[in-house]
Amino acid sequence: PAPGARNKLDQQQRRKKIGVLTSGGDASGMNACVRSVVLYGISKGCDVYAVYEGYQGLVDGGDYIRKMDWRSVTGYLSIGGTSIGTARCMAFKTREGRLLAAQNLIKNGIDSLIVCGGDGSLTGADVFRSEWSGLVSELLKADRITKEEASIFKHLTIVGLVGSIDNDMSSTDITIGAVTSLHRICEAVDSVDTTALSHSRAFVIEVMGRHCGWLALMAGIATGADFVFIPERPPSEEDWETAMCKVARRHRELGKRKTIIIVAEGALDRNLKAIKVDHIKDILCDRLGLDTRVTILGHTQRGGSPCAFDRILGTVQSVAAVDAVLASTPDKPSPMIGMNNNQVTTKPLMDAVKLTHEGAAAIESRNFDRALELRDPQFLDELKVFNVATILDDNSIYLPEHQQLTIAILHIGAPAGGMNSATRTAVRYALNRGHTVYGVANGFSGLVRGCFEKLDWMGVDGWTTCGGSLLGTNRAVPGKDVDMGMVAFQLQKYEIQALMLVGGFEAYASLVELDKVRSEYPSLCIPISLIPATVSNNVPGTDFSLGCDTSLNVIVAASDAIVQSAQSSRRRVFVIEVQGGRSGFLAVEGGLAVGACAIYIPEEGIHLPRLQGDVQFLKGLYDTDNPEKSEGRVILRTEGVSNTYTTEVISEILEDEGGARFDSRTAVLGHIQQGNTPSPLDRIRASRLAIHSIEFFEKHTCDALDHAQSICEEAPLELCTNDDSIAVIGLCGVEVHARSIKELLPGTDMKNRKAQEDWWQRDRSLVDILSGRSYFSSIE
């Protein structure tokens, strides 16, 4: 070939060719992975091939291996399962099958494979890589590939993504698909709940999880079930039937009209005997006389559109997978992309698989403590959350009388999904510890009017699934909107020894005000906690506030429906206004979850050159679309981003500029973002933070109370004055931390009502990259 053509050939040869496949059981979010690998891979100058039908497609080759372009994955984000297909492939387990797979990869010029699947699929991928050079030699010897091909494809790069609904892989906090599955389970249990209530029935619900109880346990916490059975923590009693009946009976005596038992399909007793739903049903019928039904959720748990969390997880992990491919060297072990403490991680794939198998083996050898240790780090904490908030009259966790507290809980600011769950769990755990709990109606404005009401076990029953604020919430900040003296007076009058605030930035501002004047009022010298709850996710001291996940899911559902309205008839750009105040969290993370083509956030503002650039970008996009196809696209705009460039104004500019190419409409999501039913993640986060908040109270009061007891005095009014005893109880990744207001204030932007640094800003540039902004301008 001529020098120019040779050069081009060399370049083509050097161009990275990545294959992506999904394997094993399907999991919602796999499509987000494929989309992200394709788009990010292309934006990095790679060629990306989808291998259809998992390893079977690799073995069969031909049309099963297809080059993808930017448009190949349009619409993938909202589709459940995997659109490129998956399979369990026996042939790939044989050397002959893998020989064919290697030949097909080489013939397509592919030297890197991103595999999304469970531990089996990832093991298969590693086996394939480890014998790669042997396979290449064998193919060469048999003349199935050329010498040149053998020398070019000396190494195979493998990167693993964990797609599995069970969340059963070690070394990662969460697997792709698990949270969507939890959504399906909670929707089903919430539905069963109403019929159970109506008929006063018991339901025994079987959920997936052959070796892992994550789904069962999380569903138990999120739905407020009475009892859960999981493989890695069998009931402690030999006679678990009696233990279960004791709990169910006690709950009925308290007035519950429904009994919900959640059973992982792999649930075991201490002797490794399977615990089966029909047996549980018989026990509840025979011993308690309960009208009991069995519901096996089966494959409904796998289905449906992915939740916001899985879309984001699949997207960011796949970006990391492509980066790992580009950074790989032959001497490095195959990496697995995971998630630890809200950070994307890269760990040796086979170490993770080994630990996962160790977990299953630990169960088989009845080493349940080891099995639990091998789960994600918060699993134990969540197990405790379920137990201590569920079983009443467990004297083992009752505190001595002198350490029992009087606690007040109030909600502040706008409602957010999870506020009620936090309150319910705090009340139940507190009662199990011997404390007394008051609910205060309507925040600090209710507090100064003395709106205190004692909360009991049944009083908060069913709260976990309710949106809004059942206590009533209010934006008043003490010292600003209500008199601080009256706050102190009412706390003293009701002998409150610990105060739990649940709310957003107004609650944070309240904490700041209470902290300022604490030394002036002895009744404020008590531990005060804030559980962050706001859709804006702008409270310093936490990665996630309650309500933000619910809100993201509302945005995702609304955006999917809006885009669908255009798909069959219009070329239309929707400018969707989302909440967030001065925080762009919902627009950035929502933008990733819906595949927005642009976002406008307060942290950046809107300027004419930016708008001009976006108009040009959209014109270019619609110009390159198939003229026969209609296409809806989405822009997310945070409500507080600009007074000039309102949602209407932006849409009108787009409408004018779009001309014949596209039109534009607005959608203001408004208060529906504050949720109806809280998402499972919000309910679970709420419960964990509530338990930690009660523990925080106990930690900061026990010394003063013990001292008073030792000198035979009444509990003092001033229980604690140290800085640490006024704190935000927040999530740092998946870990719960109490961070004092004094520690947080220097990093707080009080004017813009948010932290000075936002972890989610790291995802900002991805929204643009995956929108195709740079890619399309580079090919113009």
Q: Given the complex with ligand ATP, which of 24 and 439 has the nearer CB atom?
A: 24
C-alpha distances out from residue 57 to 62, 102, 305, 736, Å: 8, 12, 25, 44
Tell whether 637 is in a known binding site: no
Tell whether 343 is in a known binding site: no
Q: Please answer whether residues 302 and 165 qualify as being in contact, where contact means their C-beta atoms are separated by less than 8 angstroms.
A: yes
Tell whether 671 is in a known binding site: yes
The nearest distance, CB 27 to ligand ATP, in angstroms, is 7
Angle at 328 between CA 57 and CA 772, to 5 degrees: 70
Q: Please answer whether residues 443 and 452 qualify as being in contact, where contact means their C-beta atoms are separated by less than 8 angstroms.
A: no
The nearest distance, CB 39 to ligand ATP, in angstroms, is 24
The nearest distance, CB 229 to ligand ATP, in angstroms, is 21
* Contact residues for 157 (Cβ-Cβ < 8 A; gap 6+): 111, 112, 113, 129, 325, 328, 334
Query: In the complex, which residues of this chain contact ligand ATP (CB under 6 A)?
Result: 23-25, 55, 88-89, 92-93, 117-121, 123-124, 127, 164
* Position with the least CB separation from ligand ATP: 120
Tell whether 94 is in a known binding site: no
* Contact residues for 214 (Cβ-Cβ < 8 A; gap 6+): 166, 167, 168, 178, 375, 376, 379
User: Distance between CA atoms of 207 and 223, rounded to whole angstroms?
Assistant: 13
As given in the structure block, the two tokens for residue 758 are 């936002």
- Please state whether 253 falls in left (phi above 0), alpha (psi between -120 and 50) or beta: alpha
Tell whether 205 is in a known binding site: no
Our measurement of the distance from residue 38's CA atom to the centroid of its chain's CA atoms, rounded to an integer in Å, reads 23
Q: Given the complex with ligand ATP, which of 101 and 388 has the nearer CB atom?
A: 101
Q: Give the number of C-alpha atoms closer than 13 A to the C-alpha of residue 343, restricted to the C-beta side.
A: 8
Q: Given the complex with ligand ATP, which of 128 and 438 has the nearer CB atom?
A: 128
Q: Would you give the end-to-end CA distance of the chain in angstroms? A: 28
Our measurement of the distance from residue 17's CA atom to the centroid of its chain's CA atoms, rounded to an integer in Å, reads 32
Q: Given the complex with ligand ATP, which of 89 and 277 has the nearer CB atom?
A: 89
* Separate counts of helices (H) and strands (E) for the chain: 27, 25
Alpha-carbon torsion (615, 616, 619, 622), positive or negative: negative
User: Distance between CA atoms of 310 and 303, rounded to whole angstroms?
Assistant: 13
Q: Which of these is catalytic: 47, 60, 166, 763? A: 166
Tell whether 300 is in a known binding site: yes
Tell whether 301 is in a known binding site: yes
Tell whether 89 is in a known binding site: yes
The nearest distance, CB 166 to ligand ATP, in angstroms, is 6
Q: Given the complex with ligand ATP, which of 75 and 120 has the nearer CB atom?
A: 120
DSSP per residue over 512-572, as a string? HHHHHHGGG-GGG-S-EEEEEB-TT---TT-S--BTHHHHHHHHHHHHHHHHHHHHTT-EE
The nearest distance, CB 634 to ligand ATP, in angstroms, is 32
Q: Which of 23, 30, 25 is nearest to 122 (CA)?
A: 23
Over its C-alpha atoms, the chain yields an Rg (Å, rounded) of: 28
Q: Residue written as tokens 């009388």?
A: 401
Q: Is 166 designated active site?
A: yes
Tell whether 175 is in a known binding site: no
The nearest distance, CB 437 to ligand ATP, in angstroms, is 42
* Contact residues for 282 (Cβ-Cβ < 8 A; gap 6+): none
Q: What angle do helix axes 764-771 and 308-327 make, rounded to 10 degrees?
A: 80
As given in the structure block, the two tokens for residue 25 are 């059981």
The nearest distance, CB 87 to ligand ATP, in angstroms, is 7
Q: Given the complex with ligand ATP, which of 118 and 417 has the nearer CB atom?
A: 118
* Contact residues for 705 (Cβ-Cβ < 8 A; gap 6+): 402, 403, 715, 719
Q: Given the complex with ligand ATP, which of 55 and 214 has the nearer CB atom?
A: 55
User: Distance between CA atoms of 546 and 344, rounded to whole angstroms?
Assistant: 22
Q: Given the complex with ligand ATP, which of 165 and 511 has the nearer CB atom?
A: 165
Tell whether 538 is in a known binding site: yes
DSSP 8-class letter at 172: S
The nearest distance, CB 157 to ligand ATP, in angstroms, is 17
Q: Please answer whether residues 324 and 158 qualify as being in contact, where contact means their C-beta atoms are separated by less than 8 angstroms.
A: no
User: For 265, phi and psi rounded to 5 degrees?
Assistant: -60, -25
Q: Given the complex with ligand ATP, which of 121 and 406 has the nearer CB atom?
A: 121
Q: Which of 509, 504, 736, 768 is nearest to 635 (CA)?
A: 768
Tell whether 580 is in a known binding site: yes
Tell whether 639 is in a known binding site: yes
The nearest distance, CB 54 to ligand ATP, in angstroms, is 7
The nearest distance, CB 635 to ligand ATP, in angstroms, is 37
Tell whether 12 is in a known binding site: no
Tell whether 376 is in a known binding site: no
The nearest distance, CB 215 to ligand ATP, in angstroms, is 13
Strands 335-340 and 343-348, sheet pairing: antiparallel
Three-class SS state of 575: strand
DSSP 8-class letter at 305: S
Q: Given the complex with ligand ATP, which of 209 and 547 has the nearer CB atom?
A: 209
User: Distance between CA atoms of 268 and 229, rounded to whole angstroms?
Assistant: 8
Tell whether 56 is in a known binding site: no
The nearest distance, CB 342 to ligand ATP, in angstroms, is 24
As given in the structure block, the two tokens for residue 707 are 């001292």
Q: Give the number of C-alpha atoms closer than 13 A to the C-alpha of residue 69, restricted to the C-beta side.
A: 5
- Please state whether 645 falls in left (phi above 0), alpha (psi between -120 and 50) or beta: beta
Binding-site residues from annotation: 25, 88-89, 118-121, 164-166, 201, 208-210, 265, 293, 299-302, 475, 534-538, 572, 579-581, 639, 665, 671-674, 753
Catalytic annotation, residues = 166
> Which residue positions form the known binding site for substrate?
164-166, 201, 208-210, 265, 293, 299-302
User: Residues within the annotated binding site for Mg(2+)?
Assistant: 119
Q: Which residues are annotated as a binding site for beta-D-fructose 2,6-bisphosphate?
A: 475, 534-538, 572, 579-581, 639, 665, 671-674, 753
**Which residues belong to the annotated binding site for ATP?**
25, 88-89, 118-121
